[in-house]
């Protein structure tokens, strides 16, 4: 498939969605959106400024204070959420094509995103209907209960990797909880976010509950974070941006939920299922073009199997099909944007002085016709990487992996914990005692034992150290978007000291 695929009826201009209306920026500002396969501009988008964020927050505030959504019964809200889920699934083919075109994500990996996004809405629809809260009583004396209520307008700032699905992770629980929202999608990938407005409208979500402002982080994102009438910010993105948002939220004492960067280790012991570990560690760093927060981008391998592992891993990495994202055979597509491509390639060059290149190390050969200028990076594997190397310590967020040997369990744990990040960890061993002890001592918010990224939406999602602040997932998400007000009633005689009597 050499001719570059372009989805039908592709919009050439993307607008904001505020108070139930598609609108341009008040001042007329726009920015360009690129297709990563050719790096050509295919659309403009309205570039949100402070005035546009003010308008969106005003619409969301009006819908929260005077609209029906926050006070509807859980069952009534759930019915709307189910309609949203069905509408997302109905858009599956269109969504996959748009997502692949906008992000460079291989089409076979984009196809599952609609199902995952829909499941988020179904899951939180079920959760709010089943939600129960604490009531505590002392017979004949007092009764205390929790009155849960939505906090208000939630600011949602989402990343450019699998954008539509990651937007659903925030939209579903915030809307389910009765909040109204302002979504600021990533500026590199605004295309699929434009589908939400029509999906929500047709499902019966009242105007003003969902608002979308496109724009760059330093303008639209900054205004949203600093807005005094937005009490909550949920952010997924890079750790240094998270630190900046943290500082800016302090002024108004906002609630924050942050899922940040990662440099997650995959630890392979000599007694592991070798083939399963190879499959998982390859998929873990090269799926989604390596642009995934939970990528196992540091592989730690026990010495007795180290050379065998490196050889097998490199052979498979060289065999990965890189090419047109719309080709079903493609396993690694184009990176999202030239800026990001330059960053990843700079790390490839740094790595050449920090490790042994056993696969990749540059641009792939034999790119499809017309895509020679696309943001393509060959799957790159560095072996013998020392723990103080930059490619061991710093998040690259591309199809680049560092492999390092270890001799003992203690050394493996020390290496695993030896970065500022702590999002995920993957452990491959058939020793039950070792696997649980290692899992419980590794500094990571999420650990997978002999498995790969299987997710249960009820379980907490988040990281420790520089990888995050707070957890979402299941009831933890509902807790973030709601206030739990304690109400106390005395049932017996009131015994209060009589001051001044």
Instruction: Quote the pLDDT of residue 4.
Output: 79
In whole angstroms, give the CA distance from residue 418 to residue 211. Answer: 41
The pLDDT-based confidence of 1 (bands split at 50, 70, 90) is very low
Which of 472, 463, 419, 471 is CA-nearest to residue 444?
463
Other Cβ atoms within 10 Å of 452 Cβ, number: 18
In whole angstroms, give the CA distance from residue 448 to residue 426. Answer: 5
**Which residue in 259, 395, 443, 472 is the catalytic one?**
259
Checking if the pLDDT of 269 tops 70, the result is yes
Beta bridge partners of 298: 265, 402
Phi and psi, residue 79, nearest 5°: -60, -40
Per-residue pLDDT reduced to its tens digit, 139-174: 999 999 999 999 999 999 999 999 999 999 999 999
Compute the residue count for the chain. Answer: 501
Q: Dmax of the chain from CA atoms?
A: 92
Other Cβ atoms within 10 Å of 51 Cβ, number: 13
Checking if the pLDDT of 2 tops 90, the result is no
In whole angstroms, give the CA distance from residue 118 to residue 46. Answer: 27
The pLDDT-based confidence of 495 (bands split at 50, 70, 90) is confident
- Spatial contact of 362 and 378, defined as CB atoms under 8 Å apart: yes
Which of 267, 298, 272 is CA-nearest to residue 441?
267
The pLDDT-based confidence of 188 (bands split at 50, 70, 90) is very high
The pLDDT-based confidence of 369 (bands split at 50, 70, 90) is confident
Which tokens sit at 17? Answer: 């969605």
Instruction: Quote the pLDDT of residue 370.
Output: 86
- Spatial contact of 10 and 79, defined as CB atoms under 8 Å apart: no
**Terminal Cα-to-Cα distance of the chain (whole angstroms):** 90
Q: Reduced to 3 DSSP states, what percent helix, strand and coil does the chain have, rounded to the nearest 5?
A: 40, 20, 40
Which of 345, 350, 347, 351 is CA-nearest to residue 363?
345
Per-residue pLDDT reduced to its tens digit, 421-432: 999 999 999 999
In whole angstroms, give the CA distance from residue 387 to residue 411. Answer: 11
Arithmetic mean of pLDDT, 311-327: 97
DSSP 102-138: HH---HHHHTTHHHHHHHHHHHHHHHHHH----EEEE
Instruction: Quote the pLDDT of residue 3.
Output: 66
In whole angstroms, give the CA distance from residue 186 to residue 65. Answer: 28
Arithmetic mean of pLDDT, 49-63: 99
Per-residue pLDDT reduced to its tens digit, 376-401: 999 999 999 999 999 999 999 999 99
Burial class (CB in 10 A: 0-12, 13-18, 19+), 72: middle
Q: Which residue has the tokens 């076979």?
A: 108
Query: Which are the contacts of 403, defined by CB distance < 8 A and separation ≥ 6?
Result: 299, 300, 301, 309, 310, 313, 355, 381, 382, 383, 384, 385
> Is 493 known to be catalytic?
no
Arithmetic mean of pLDDT, 52-67: 99
DSSP 254-321: -EEEEE-----EEEE-TTS-HHHHHHHHHHHHHGGGG--TT---EEEEEHHHHHHHHHHHHHHHHT--
- Spatial contact of 211 and 182, defined as CB atoms under 8 Å apart: yes
Per-residue pLDDT reduced to its tens digit, 231-264: 999 999 999 999 999 999 999 999 999 999 999 9
Instruction: Quote the pLDDT of residue 83.
Output: 98
What's the mean per-residue pLDDT of the chain? 97
In whole angstroms, give the CA distance from residue 482 to residue 60. Answer: 16
């Amino acid at each position: 498939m050499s001719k570059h695929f372009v989805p039908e009826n592709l919009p050439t201009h993307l607008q904001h969605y505020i108070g139930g209306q598609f609108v341009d920026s008040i001042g007329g500002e726009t920015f360009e959106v690129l297709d990563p396969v050719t790096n050509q501009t295919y659309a403009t988008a309205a570039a949100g400024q402070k005035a546009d964020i003010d308008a969106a927050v005003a619409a969301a505030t009006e819908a929260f204070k005077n609209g029906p959504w926050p006070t509807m019964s859980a069952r009534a809200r759930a019915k709307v959420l189910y309609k949203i889920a069905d509408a997302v699934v109905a858009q599956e083919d269109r969504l996959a094509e748009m997502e692949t075109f906008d992000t460079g994500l291989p089409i076979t990996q984009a196809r599952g995103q609609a199902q995952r996004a829909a499941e988020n809405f179904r899951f939180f629809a079920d959760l709010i209907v089943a939600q129960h809260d604490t009531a505590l009583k002392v017979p004949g004396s007092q009764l205390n209960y929790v009155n849960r209520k939505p906090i208000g307008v939630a600011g949602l700032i989402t990343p450019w990797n699998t954008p539509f699905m990651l937007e659903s992770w925030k939209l579903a629980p915030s809307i389910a909880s009765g909040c109204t929202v302002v979504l600021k999608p990533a500026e590199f990938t605004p295309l699929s976010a434009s589908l939400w407005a029509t999906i929500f409208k047709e499902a019966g979500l009242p105007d003003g509950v969902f608002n979308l402002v496109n724009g760059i982080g330093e303008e639209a994102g900054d205004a949203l974070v600093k807005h005094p009438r937005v009490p909550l910010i949920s952010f997924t993105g890079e750790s240094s941006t998270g630190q900046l948002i943290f500082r800016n939220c302090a002024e108004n004492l906002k609630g924050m939920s942050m899922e940040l960067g990662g440099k997650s280790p995959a630890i392979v012991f000599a007694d592991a299922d070798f083939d399963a570990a190879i499959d998982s560690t390859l998929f873990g760093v090269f799926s989604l073009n390596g642009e995934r927060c939970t990528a196992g981008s540091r592989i730690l391998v026990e010495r007795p199997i180290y050379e065998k592992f490196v050889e097998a891993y490199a052979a498979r990495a060289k065999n990965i099909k890189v090419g047109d994202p719309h080709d079903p055979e493609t396993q690694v597509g184009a990176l999202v944007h030239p800026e990001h491509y330059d960053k990843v390639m700079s790390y490839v060059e740094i790595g050449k002085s920090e490790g042994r290149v056993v696969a990749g190390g540059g641009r792939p050969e034999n790119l499809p016709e017309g895509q020679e200028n696309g943001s393509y990076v060959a799957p790159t594997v560095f072996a013998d990487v020392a723990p103080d190397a930059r490619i061991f310590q710093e998040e690259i967020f591309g199809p680049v992996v560092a492999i390092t040997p270890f001799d003992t369990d203690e050394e493996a744990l020390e290496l695993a914990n030896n970065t500022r990040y702590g999002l995920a960890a993957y452990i491959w061993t058939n020793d039950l005692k070792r696997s649980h002890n290692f899992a419980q001592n590794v500094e990571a918010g999420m650990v997978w034992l002999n498995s790969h990224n299987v997710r249960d939406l009820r379980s907490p999602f988040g990281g420790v150290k520089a990888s995050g602040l707070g957890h979402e997932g299941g009831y933890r998400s509902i807790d973030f978007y709601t206030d739990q007000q304690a109400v106390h009633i005395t049932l017996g005689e009131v015994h209060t000291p009589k001051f001044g009597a």
